[in-house]
Chain A
Amino acid sequence: MMKEVEMAIVGAGPAGLSAAIEAAKAGVHVVLIDENKRPGGQLFKQTHKFFGTMEHYAGIRGIQIGERLLKETEDLGVEVLLNTTVWGIFNKDVLAFIQDEKGGQLKAKKILLATGANENPLPFPGWTLPGVMGAGAVQTLINIQRVLPGRRALMIGAGNVGLIVAYHLMQAGAEVIKVVEGKPTIGGWGVHASKLTRFGVPVETSKTIKRAEGNEKVERAVLVKIDKDWNEIPGTEEELNVDLICLAVGLGPMDDLAWIAGCKFEYLEELGGYIPKHDQYMETSIEGIYTAGDSAGIEEASVAIEEGRLAGVAIAHSLGYIEDREALKRKKEILKRLHELRKGPFGEASKKAKERLLLRRK
């Protein structure tokens, strides 16, 4: 007989863990599933102190936030399935998975998809040379495996990921030659950029990579200035001797399961691409299937934590574990904090896009 649970969460990153905690606290039997051998998502690569308020563990390093969330899920008795890849959703409530090369199925009254994001690729001549890699891989190598993938690094992309990973590379002992950004302005926060510039790492906007060169591995990068329409400016080529080219050119939501389930989607560039439509409490167009974190639109980890909490409360409420009035109070508190997180100039675009994404139920 197929195992039945009240709530299954796919993805044990900040959103999935936060949802598990809220729901389990209310008494829900939660199964948390992750394809990796350790839960925590990207948190365990984040060696820097996080932004936000005390509600978002501000001033605490990502790795420590991961440890805290994990401990809480353990203390609450959340069941965790690791090395488990969910590959399908059937009949809106059955998850099909592979665990240690064996297939399995799980029926859940409520499903939360907190599957995170994929890195965007950036093709250019030479991009298949060893030494060209994504920022996520670089972070795994330096902060988890403790292997330095290059001594002289070039970072492509000055969003928060590019700026932060460039800083981690410096801490790991690499020389970061420069950070370039195709757009005319730095996408990430100024403070992250200033952490680099004050130690002599230039951050240059309106500039991108034209090609990578080298015998069997990266030896050089050729950069070029571009105008606001991304056309090359002739005569501005610049050659750099580097052995690592790190790409941090944005993230896209990982929503295969929501597509398979048949959720309604909307394309919102500000949030990273096609995003499942969801109501204000994170339930998608399919009743009983929820989404939270980067899979519900690319934003900061603090937002993922709050969205996860919101989904956790909403699911516990719909299963009858929290009374109407109490649920509404908690949801309102979380929504208020989410509103604050999206209030500043950097959050404005996400806020507007999220409003367009909102599913209004009849």
Chain B
Amino acid sequence: MPLERDGVIESKELEKSPGVPSQKRLRKGPVAVIECIQEIPCDPCVLACPNGAIKITPSINDLPLLIEGRCTGCGSCIPICPGLAIFLVDETFSDKEELVSIPYEFLPLPKKGDRVEILNRRGTPVGEGKIVRVLNPKKYDRTPVITLAVPKGLAMEVRGFRIL
């Protein structure tokens, strides 16, 4: 079902989106994944990137383009996105695990080391993960970014979690 029918982005809608890194780039290490597939007038992510890796041109309605070679995986774009639609994925974390960073505006916040139930884009549980980092500096303006270690092959699937 397409996004406008049930609010869930399908993988095939995502693959052709200019904000999503290639398989080749994903294999190289941490990179932003911009899940913004509708043309809406919005561009704060462009200014948030210190490396000029996000372009929205010529109109502010154009989809964000990720220049994947310039993205260092710093995650500065995650908390600024009003749609909470930017994630960070690191498929190179370890032999068994990958990392995914998610903007999370709910209380209580999880703590480093917590085990959590991991959810896909539909909110369906797909296994268990571990919190490895909780970032909540003042400049994120109350949009904490939570990094989870998830089983290999799931970092491009997991977009939510539930504290156990």
**Chain A interface residues toward B at CB < 8 A:** 48-54, 58-61, 158, 163, 170-171, 179, 184-186, 189-205, 302, 340-341, 343-347
Comparing B37-45, B89-97, B147-155, the segment that makes contact with chain A is: B37-45
- B7/A190 in contact, CB under 8 A: yes
B74 contacts which chain A residues (CB < 8 A)?
Answer: none
- B5/A186 in contact, CB under 8 A: yes
A158 contacts which chain B residues (CB < 8 A)?
Answer: 7
Q: List 19 A-B contacts (CB under 8 A).
A: A54-B47, A59-B81, A179-B7, A186-B3, A186-B5, A189-B38, A190-B4, A191-B84, A195-B83, A196-B7, A197-B6, A198-B121, A198-B160, A200-B162, A205-B6, A302-B41, A340-B61, A344-B61, A346-B39
Q: Closest residue to B84 on the A side, CB-wise?
A: A195
Q: Which of A58, A61, A203, A345 is B7 in contact with, Cβ under 8 Å?
A: A203
B60 contacts which chain A residues (CB < 8 A)?
Answer: 52-53, 340-341, 343
Given the known interface contacts A196-B7, A199-B119, the answer about A341 and B41 at a Cβ–Cβ threshold of 8 Å is yes
- A194/B35 in contact, CB under 8 A: yes
B3 contacts which chain A residues (CB < 8 A)?
Answer: 186, 190, 193-194
A190 contacts which chain B residues (CB < 8 A)?
Answer: 3-4, 7, 9, 37-38
A134 to B39, CA, bound (A): 29
A192 contacts which chain B residues (CB < 8 A)?
Answer: 83
Interface membership of chain B positions 41-61, coded 1 if the CB is closer than 8 angstroms to chain A and 0 otherwise: 111100110000000000111
A58 to B83, CA, bound (A): 11
- A51/B123 in contact, CB under 8 A: no
B38 contacts which chain A residues (CB < 8 A)?
Answer: 189-191, 344-346
B159 contacts which chain A residues (CB < 8 A)?
Answer: 194, 198
B43 contacts which chain A residues (CB < 8 A)?
Answer: 52-53, 58
A195 contacts which chain B residues (CB < 8 A)?
Answer: 83-84
- Beyond contacts A53-B41, A53-B43, A190-B9: 12 other A-B pairs, Cβ-Cβ < 8 A, are A49-B81, A59-B81, A191-B40, A192-B83, A194-B3, A194-B35, A198-B159, A199-B160, A200-B160, A341-B41, A343-B59, A345-B38
- A197/B83 in contact, CB under 8 A: no
A189 to B63, CA, bound (A): 13
B124 contacts which chain A residues (CB < 8 A)?
Answer: 200
Most B CB atoms within 10 A — which of A54, A58, A190, A343? A190
Main SS class of interface, B: loop
Task: Flag whether B127 is at the interface (Cβ < 8 A).
Answer: no
A78 to B36, CA, bound (A): 40
Give residues of chain B (8-56) contacting chain A, Cβ–Cβ below 8 Å: 8-9, 35-44, 47-48
- B123/A200 in contact, CB under 8 A: yes
Give residues of chain B (57-95) contacting chain A, Cβ–Cβ below 8 Å: 59-61, 80-85
- A194/B41 in contact, CB under 8 A: no
A197 → chain B, closest Cβ, in Å?
4
Q: Closest residue to B121 on the A side, CB-wise?
A: A198
A3 to B136, CA, bound (A): 52
A51 to B36, CA, bound (A): 13
Q: Closest residue to B117 on the A side, CB-wise?
A: A200
A17 → chain B, closest Cβ, in Å?
20
- A203/B82 in contact, CB under 8 A: no
- B59/A340 in contact, CB under 8 A: yes
A60 to B80, CA, bound (A): 8
A345 to B105, CA, bound (A): 28
- A347/B6 in contact, CB under 8 A: no
B32 → chain A, closest Cβ, in Å?
15
- A346/B40 in contact, CB under 8 A: yes
Task: Flag whether B101 is at the interface (Cβ < 8 A).
Answer: no
Given the known interface contacts A59-B48, A194-B121, A343-B59, the answer about A189 and B83 at a Cβ–Cβ threshold of 8 Å is yes
- A200/B48 in contact, CB under 8 A: no
Task: Flag whether B122 is at the interface (Cβ < 8 A).
Answer: yes
A184 to B120, CA, bound (A): 24
- B143/A49 in contact, CB under 8 A: yes
B84 contacts which chain A residues (CB < 8 A)?
Answer: 191, 195
